Amino acid sequence: MNETNLWLLFVIPAIVGALLLVIPMTARYLRGVISTVTAALLVYLAINLWGQQIEINLPWAGFGIDFQLRYYGFSQFIVTAITMFAFLITLYSTKFMVDKPKSNQFYGFLLLTEAMAIGAALANNLIVMLFFWEGLLITTFALISLGSEKAFQTGLKSFIIIGLSDLCLTMGIGIIWVQAKTLVMSEINLDTAGLNGVAFVLMMIGAIGKAGAMPFHTWIPDAAEDAPLPFMAYLPAALEKLLGVYLVARIALDFFTLTDGMRILVMSIGAITIIFAVMMALVQKDFKRLLSYHAISQVGYMILGIGTGVPIGIVGGLFHMINHAMYKCCLFLTSGSVESQNGTTDLNQLGGLWRQQPLTMICFVVAAASISGVPPFNGFVSKEMIFEGALEMGSAYRIFYVAAVLGALFTAASFLKLGHAAFFDKVDPKKPRVKDAHWTMQLPMIVLALTCIVFGVWHKLPLNGILKPALMESMDKVIDKGIHFEFGFGPLFWTTVLILTFAILNHWIGYKLTGKGLGASHHIYELPGLHQIYDLAEKQTFDPYVQGKRGGRYVVKGLFYIDRGVDWFYQKLVPATANKIAQLRQIHNGLYANYLSWSVGGLLLIILYFLLSVPK
């Protein structure tokens, strides 16, 4: 029975999604309701599958490529999370997307994405995973380009960037296939010497590309503006992080045994992502772009956590992944409700919403607090674990701890600015009063906010309940001592309090200088060194995609000339030789005597040849 359940888990969304795409339904809410019901069904399926070990193994394409699925601790955790978020997003988007253009396709693609994600999480054969992974690539492109006319460009950008990283993933899988001689994910473990090292790097690129860390992040901020909001809440916030970091974990823990050199590489990527993204987020003027940059920086934390290789760090990284999914999704949903009520997410026009949209404001405050690492909330717990992991690495790796702390500081500063500008700033009187969003939009926000609180205060429950079985297989020797994290008032607690006070102080100075909540980060923007960097960033100099396009133009011109060359060969050269040969035909002048003399000449040659070749 369970195997059929497992099959149903990803077949149902695929079928329903396909049907939604194909079948024309006119009723306004029908599509939204259908997809929400399916998502709910999936959540139910995932829950009653919890805690079982199921394995499916079907011969598929031969050569060791079989259709293998495996439902065990780790994938159980990911799949359940996916179904939860899918349910919340579909519920949210029934109201939000209803009047948007092309909304009928949105639900179809949403469910297809969910099917692909579950498939990728369950896959136990690299090729099967790759198959679903590519599926995600396509649905992402489709969902983005549903947003608006300009969205197609961003969709294309995301397609190319993720496509490239998927290409590296494919190459990595190829090398693993050669080195490990098997494609079954649970049996692969290689050292990182020589070719395996290359495979490791390629696979990491693939994973990070999906998770949206540096340097594959540039499409996310653009998508924030153009793509439909539920997409942002669903994929960049939750799903991509889940799958991306899942793969990073599998690579770092299962596939390869990392050497210190590799560990440093991974952690440095994490650190850079944290710092750079949060600096960019600080100066954003738009609600959603700011959130998208934070999504990128939080990925940095997860990668840093897993990169430490210390058990507490790894568990912290994964715990941070699920926490981040919750509060980031909640933040995006709040921005969604702000946008749906006020029609814009530009912070300059927003202000004083705390009285008009109280519920949204409360959820925003809870989520903002947990992302900034305020003590009782879940963000604080997972960040503390990552800090502890970084510290435990030893004094040589102090730099990563400093980076993490700096990141936390700026995250707190930017959210203070955001909250102040959006909700608490003085409102200009002529702006019309706005009432709060529809209940279907508020319910998901409230649920997420509550989970943030629950996972924060009673953090033992998720740690031992969800994460312990998840990592059971990968790090068995460590886990059995139990993941213990005392909510003590140790040195880490005080550093966090220090960070927060410093952030509030900085916010107060900024507010005093500019008189507006939005200006809180202005003085940082003006700092001499940073100013130039920010201007460069604005001109997208650091965006590999834009540079690639400029370079592409020359490649195209080169190919054009090559093609002209081939054309010349066929149009000019072949007929020319044909005519030259035409002259050759003149020797056939029709005279019989010629033909006969050729023949007799041939005969004489033959006789001569025989006389020579046969020794008398």
Partner 1 sequence: MNNILVIDMIAVILLLGIGLYTLIVSRNLLRMLIGFEIMAKGVTLAIVSAGAYNGKLALSQTLAVTAIVVEVIFIAVALAIVMLIQRKKGSLDVRKITNLKG
Partner 2 sequence: MLLAYILVPLLGAAIMPILRKIWQKGTDSVPILVTVYQIIITGWIAYQGIVLNGSLNLERWILDQVLALRLDGLSLVALLAIGLVSFVTVLFSLRYPLDEDRRPGYYALILLAVTGMNGLVVATDLFSMYVFLEIVSVASFILIAYQYDEFGMEGSFKYMMLSAVATVFLLVAVALLFAITGGVSFGELAQGVKTGGPVVFISFAFIFFALALKSGMMPFHGWLPDAYTASPAPVSILLAGIVTKIAGVYTMIRLVLEVFGFNSVFMNLLLVVGAVSTVLGAFFALGQKDFKRMLAYSSISQIGYIMMGLAAGTPLGLIGAVFHFFNHAIFKSLLFLNSGAVETATGTRNFDELGGLAEKMPVTGTTSVIGLLSTAGIPPLAGFWSKLVIIVALWMAGFKFFAFIAVFASIITLAYLLLLQRNVFFGKIKQGLEGIREVSPVVYWPAIIMAAITVFSGILFPLVYDKLLNPVNSLLGLLAK
Residues that bind partner 2 (CB under 8 A): 574, 577-585, 588, 590, 592, 594-596, 598-603, 605-607, 609-610, 613-614, 616
Phi and psi at residue 318, to the nearest 5°: -70, -40
By CB under 8 A, name the one of 596, 605, 607, 608 that touches partner 1.
Answer: 596
Please say which residue, 561 or 592, places its beta carbon nearer to partner 2: 592
Q: Residue 591 has which token pair?
A: 């005279």
- By the rule CB under 8 A, 580 interacts with partner 1: no
Cα distances (angstroms) measured from residue 581 to each of 178, 293, 338 = 53, 70, 80
Task: Report the C-alpha gap between 562 and 559 in whole angstroms.
Answer: 5
Q: Which residues contact 45 (CB under 8 A, 6 or more apart)?
A: 5, 8, 9, 12, 83
Alpha carbon distances (Å) from 289 to 219, 349, 354, 420: 11, 15, 21, 17
Closest approach of partner 1 to the CB of residue 613, in Å: 22
Pairwise CA distance, residues 11 & 4, whole Å: 10
Minimum distance of partner 1 from residue 609's CB (angstroms): 19
Contact status, residue 75 vs residue 129, Cβ threshold 8 Å: no
Tell me the HSE value of 500 on the side-chain side, using a 13 A CA sphere.
14
Q: Which stretch binds partner 1 (CB under 8 A): 180-188, 489-497, 568-576, 587-595?
A: 587-595
Q: What residues between 266 and 285 interact with partner 1 by CB under 8 A?
A: none
Chosen from partner 1, partner 2, none, partner binding at 554 (C-beta under 5 to 8 Å by type): none
For the CB of residue 596, give the shortest distance to partner 1 in the complex, in Å.
Answer: 6
Distance CA 522, CA 533 (A): 15
588 touches partner 1 by CB under 8 A: yes
- By CB atoms closer than 10 A (0-12, 13-18, 19+), residue 165 is buried
Query: Which of 560, 569, 570, 592 is close enough to bind partner 1 by CB under 8 A?
Result: 592
4/586 with CB nearer partner 1? 586
Contact range with partner 1 by CB under 8 A, out of 55-63, 277-285, 366-374, 593-601: 593-601
Task: Say which residues have a Cβ less than 8 Å from residue 354's Cβ, sequence separation at least 6.
Answer: 361, 423, 424
Q: Which does 4 bind (CB under 5 to 8 A by kind): partner 1, partner 2, none?
A: none
User: CA-to-CA distance for 579 and 111, rounded, in angstroms?
Assistant: 64
CB 562 → partner 2: shortest distance, Å? 22
CB nearer to partner 2: pick between 193 and 581: 581
Q: Interface with partner 1 includes 583 (CB under 8 A)?
A: no
Q: CA-CA distance, 279 to 531, in Å (whole number)?
A: 11
Judged by CB under 8 A, the stretch of 31-39, 143-151, 566-574, 584-592 that binds partner 1 is: 584-592
From the list partner 1, partner 2, none, which binds 564 (C-beta under 5 to 8 Å, kind-based)?
Answer: none
Q: How far is the CB of 580 from partner 1 (least distance, A)?
A: 14
C-alpha atoms less than 13 angstroms from C-alpha of 526 in its C-beta half-sphere: 8
The entry of partner 1, partner 2, none that residue 481 binds, CB within 5 to 8 Å by partner kind: none
Minimum distance, C-beta of residue 606 to partner 2, in the bound complex (Å): 5
What does residue 374 show for φ and ψ, rounded to 5 degrees? -70, 135
Shortest distance, position 588 Cβ to partner 1, whole Å = 6
- The residue (of 1 and 593) whose beta carbon lies closer to partner 1 is 593
**Residue nearer to partner 1 on the CB measure, 395 or 586:** 586
Instruction: Count residues near partner 1 (CB under 8 A).
Output: 11
Enumerate residues 6+ apart whose C-beta is below 8 A from 295: 212, 220, 236, 237, 241, 324, 328
With contact defined as beta carbons under 8 Å apart, do 165 and 227 qualify?
no
State the nearest-atom distance from the C-beta of 600 to partner 1, in Å: 6
Is position 554 an interface residue for partner 1 (rule: CB under 8 A)? Answer: no
- Cβ closest to partner 1, residue 435 vs residue 585: 585
Query: Which residue stretch of 46-54, 202-210, 317-325, 583-591 sits at the interface with partner 1 (rule: CB under 8 A)?
Result: 583-591
**Distance (Å, rounded) from C-alpha 47 to C-alpha 21?**
27
- Smaller CB distance to partner 2: residue 477 or 580? 580
Partner interacting with residue 581 (select from partner 1, partner 2, none; CB below 5-8 Å by kind)? partner 2
Task: Tell whether residue 61 is a contact of partner 1 (CB under 8 A).
Answer: no
Distance in Å, CB of 580 to partner 2, minimum: 8
Determine if 611 is a binding residue for partner 1 (CB under 8 A). no
| 561 makes contact with partner 1 (CB under 8 A) | no
Task: Kindly state whether residue 581 participates in binding partner 1, applying the rule CB under 8 A.
Answer: no
CB atoms within 10 A of CB 169: 25
Single-letter amino acid code for the residue at 506 = N
Please, which residue, 19 or 600, has the CB nearer to partner 2?
Answer: 600
**Tokens describing residue 301:** 């934390």
590 binds partner 1 (CB under 8 A): yes
- Closest C-alpha to 302, from 239, 228, 244: 244
396 versus 581: smaller Cβ distance to partner 2: 581
Q: How far is CA 148 from CA 32, 113, 333, 342, 496, in A?
A: 20, 19, 19, 19, 42
Residue 382's Cβ-count burial label (10 Å; 0-12, 13-18, 19+) is: buried
Give the separation between CA 21 and CA 10, rounded to whole angstroms: 17
Which of the ranges 237-245, 277-285, 459-467, 594-602 carries the binding residues for partner 1, by CB under 8 A? 594-602
Polymer length of the chain: 616
**Between 461 and 605, CB nearer to partner 2:** 605
DSSP 475-508: THHHHTT---------HHHHHHHHHHHHHHHHHH
Burial pattern 546-559, b for ≥16 Cβ within 10 A else e, equals eeeeeeeeeeeeee
Q: What is the Cα–Cα distance from 88 to 364, expressed in whole angstroms?
A: 17
578 makes contact with partner 1 (CB under 8 A)? no
**Under rule CB under 8 A, residue 605 binds partner 1:** no
Measured from the CB atom, the residue of 396 and 584 that comes closer to partner 2 is 584
607 binds, among partner 1, partner 2, none (CB under 5 to 8 A by kind): partner 2
589 binds, among partner 1, partner 2, none (CB under 5 to 8 A by kind): partner 1
Binds 598: which of partner 1, partner 2, none (CB < 5-8 Å by kind): partner 2
Per the CB < 8 A criterion, the answer to whether 435 and 341 are in contact is yes
| Contacting residues toward partner 1, per CB under 8 A | 585-586, 588-593, 596-597, 600
